[in-house]
Chain A
C-alpha cells in the first residue's frame, strides 16, 4: 500500500472509528471459507470467531501495511495452524462442481474434477496454500505475500510451479 493511500485510510479510520461489527459483516465470509478449507467445516466457525476476537484485541496495532482483509486472513491462518497442530487435523478435500455447458465449461471439460481435487491434495503445503489463496479465495500476489510473509516474487514462482505440477498430473490422468 503506497504512503498516500495508507495515510488516507488511516485518516478515514481515525475519523470514523472502526466498528468491529462492520468489519465482521464485510469479511466474515472470506475468513470463514478460508478457515473451512484448512480445518474443515466443523472447526471453521470456532476459528473464524477466534480470528475476529483476536482482531478486536489487536486492532489498535494494525499498521496499515496491508489490506484489512489480508491482515484478517493472516490471523486466521495462524489460528488454523495452531488448531491443526493441537488437533492433528488434515486439510479437507476441496470439491469442484461438474463442468457446465457454457463455453468455458466446454473448454475445461478435459479436466476431471475428482482428479483435480486429488492433484491439489498431492501438492506440497506451500504450493497448495498459494493456489487455494489465489485461485479459490481470490487474494492478489501482494496479499498472499503479506499473509504468508514471503516476497511477492516467491508467490509468483510457487504459483507457476504448482500449476505445472497440476497440469502434469491432470494430463497423465487423461492419458490414462
Chain B
C-alpha cells in the first residue's frame, strides 16, 4: 500500500496539508483511484444513515450528580472530627479524678441534691445553677426542702463522711419453693392404703395428708440420682444396657472391659425396625455415662449406594443444580440493582425466589436417615463408664 493510497481517506476527511491535497488531486486522473475515492465517499454517506439510539436517563444522571454533591458536612471530614471529639470527651471523663467531696459544705450538698439533674461528677456546676432566682420561693423554704431532699437521696460514708447516693441493697431473684421441691424423694409422696370395716372399704392415706403440691411431684429418675451422688456404678450401667437390649431383642456380639475396669464396651446386633428406638432408649437412659454409636449394617458394608449418591432434594433435584440456579439468581439480582426502578419490586420478588432456593438447598443438605429395611441387621456399639 502506497502513501498516496493511505492519504485517500484522509483527503476525504480534510485531514491533509495543502501539499498532500495537491498530490492526491493529481493522482485522481487515474481511473482506479477516482473510483476508489467515489466508493469511499459513498461509504461515508451511507454511514450517515446510521440509526441514532434514543437518548435516555439524562435526568437520572443529573439527580445522581446532585445527590453526590449534597453529602452533608458531617459525612466527610466533619464526621471524623466529631468522632475524635467524642472519643476525647469519653477519655477525659474516665481519666479526670473525682472532685474532693469532703470539701463541700452541707448546704452545698443540699443544693446539689435540689438540682433535678445533679450528678456526682460535677457538683460545683450544679451548685452554681442551683442559685435561687427572683421568682423562686424564699431561700429559707428552699433550703429546708433541699435539706430534706438531700437526706433522702444522699448519705454520708460512716468513716470518711463522704457523701454518696443512696443505693438500695441488691437482692437476688425470688426463690420459687415449688421449684426446690421438684427433686423431693418419691417416698415423700402420699401413699394410700385400703381400710376395711363397717361392711365396706375405704382408701386412706398412709403418710401425711396430701399437700397442695401433691401430684405435681415426679419420682426420682436415674439422672436425678447421678446429680446427687455424682456418678453411677458400672454394674448398674451394665444392668441398664442389658435390660434395654433384652427389651429390644438386641443380640450381644461382643462385650469388652475397658481400662482400669471402669468402662465396658458392648456390640449389639439388632434388626432394623428396632435399631432406632433401641439407640434412643440407650441414649436417654445412660445420659452422660455412656456413648452409643449407631449403626453400620450388620453385613459389614460401611457404605451403600445411598451414602455415595450426591445429595438431592425430596423431588430428586441434585443440590449442585440448585446451587447453579442460586448463582444465576444472584447474578440477575446484581443486574436488577443497577437498573432504575420506581420501586424495588422486581428485586424483592427475586429475593423471595432466592430465599426459597436457599431453603431447598439447606433442606437437601441436611443429613437424612438412611431408610432401613425392617429385617436388615444393624450394629450398635455401646460404651459405658461408671464410678
Proximity string of chain A (27-41) to chain B, C-beta cutoff 8 Å, 1 when within and 0 when not: 011001100110001
Proximity string of chain B (89-100) to chain A, C-beta cutoff 8 Å, 1 when within and 0 when not: 000000000000
- Asked if A172 is at the interface (CB within 8 A of a chain B CB), the reply is no
Which residue, of B8, B36, B48, B55, has the highest number of chain A Cβ atoms within 10 A?
B55
Residue contact A33 to B53, C-beta cutoff 8 Å = yes
- Asked if B316 is at the interface (CB within 8 A of a chain A CB), the reply is no
Chain B proximity of A44: nearest CB distance (Å):
7
Which residues from 108 to 166 on chain A have a C-beta closer than 8 Å to any C-beta of chain B? 108, 110-111, 113, 116, 131, 134-136, 140-141, 156-157, 159-160, 163, 166
Proximity string of chain B (44-56) to chain A, C-beta cutoff 8 Å, 1 when within and 0 when not: 1111111111011
Residue contact B39 to A167, C-beta cutoff 8 Å = yes
Contact partner of A156 (CB less than 8 A), chosen from B15, B40, B48, is B15
Answer whether A48 and B57 are a contact pair too, CB < 8 Å, given A134-B13, A136-B47, A156-B15: yes
Chain A proximity of B203: nearest CB distance (Å):
86
Docked Cα-Cα span, A17 to B42, in Å, equals 44
Contact partner of B65 (CB less than 8 A), chosen from A53, A98, A104, A110, is A53
Question: A99: which B residues are within 8 A, CB to CB?
Answer: 46, 49
Residue contact A33 to B10, C-beta cutoff 8 Å = no
Which residues from 36 to 89 on chain B have a C-beta closer than 8 Å to any C-beta of chain A? 36, 39-53, 55-58, 60-62, 64-66, 68-69
Docked Cα-Cα span, A107 to B44, in Å, equals 11
Contact partner of B68 (CB less than 8 A), chosen from A24, A53, A171, is A53
- Asked if B283 is at the interface (CB within 8 A of a chain A CB), the reply is no
- Asked if A14 is at the interface (CB within 8 A of a chain B CB), the reply is no
Closest residue of chain B to A45 (Cβ to Cβ) is B57
Residue contact A116 to B57, C-beta cutoff 8 Å = no
Docked Cα-Cα span, A28 to B53, in Å, equals 13
Answer whether A96 and B55 are a contact pair too, CB < 8 Å, given A21-B62, A108-B42, A160-B6: no
Answer whether A33 and B55 are a contact pair too, CB < 8 Å, given A111-B46, A135-B44: yes
Chain A proximity of B51: nearest CB distance (Å):
4
> How many residues in B have their beta carbons less than 8 Å from beta carbons of A?
38
Question: B56: which A residues are within 8 A, CB to CB?
Answer: 32, 41, 44-45
Docked Cα-Cα span, A48 to B15, in Å, equals 30
Residue contact B57 to A24, C-beta cutoff 8 Å = no
Question: B125: which A residues are within 8 A, CB to CB?
Answer: none
Residue contact A24 to B58, C-beta cutoff 8 Å = yes
- Asked if A68 is at the interface (CB within 8 A of a chain B CB), the reply is no
Question: A141: which B residues are within 8 A, CB to CB?
Answer: 10, 13, 15
Answer whether A24 and B15 are a contact pair too, CB < 8 Å, given A136-B50, A167-B36: no
Docked Cα-Cα span, A141 to B14, in Å, equals 10
Residue contact B43 to A160, C-beta cutoff 8 Å = no
- Asked if B340 is at the interface (CB within 8 A of a chain A CB), the reply is yes
Question: B48: which A residues are within 8 A, CB to CB?
Answer: 135
Closest residue of chain B to A120 (Cβ to Cβ) is B47
- Asked if A7 is at the interface (CB within 8 A of a chain B CB), the reply is no
Question: A134: which B residues are within 8 A, CB to CB?
Answer: 13
- Asked if A18 is at the interface (CB within 8 A of a chain B CB), the reply is no
Chain B proximity of A32: nearest CB distance (Å):
5
- Asked if B232 is at the interface (CB within 8 A of a chain A CB), the reply is no
Chain A proximity of B279: nearest CB distance (Å):
53
- Asked if A46 is at the interface (CB within 8 A of a chain B CB), the reply is yes
Residue contact B5 to A160, C-beta cutoff 8 Å = yes
B residues near A, CB below 8 A? 5-6, 8-10, 13, 15, 36, 39-53, 55-58, 60-62, 64-66, 68-69, 338-340
A-B contact pairs, 15 of them (CB 8 A): A21-B65, A24-B65, A29-B55, A32-B53, A32-B56, A36-B53, A45-B340, A52-B65, A56-B69, A99-B46, A111-B42, A113-B49, A156-B9, A160-B5, A166-B43
Known A99-B46, A110-B42; further 13 A-B contacts with Cβ < 8 A: A21-B62, A25-B58, A32-B55, A49-B57, A49-B64, A56-B68, A100-B49, A111-B42, A135-B44, A135-B47, A157-B6, A160-B9, A171-B39
A residues near B, CB below 8 A? 20-21, 24-25, 28-29, 32-33, 36-37, 41, 44-46, 48-49, 52-53, 56, 94-100, 104, 107-108, 110-111, 113, 116, 131, 134-136, 140-141, 156-157, 159-160, 163, 166-167, 170-171
The 10 closest A-B pairs by CB, nearest first: A45-B57, A135-B47, A108-B42, A36-B53, A160-B9, A97-B49, A49-B61, A95-B51, A111-B46, A108-B46
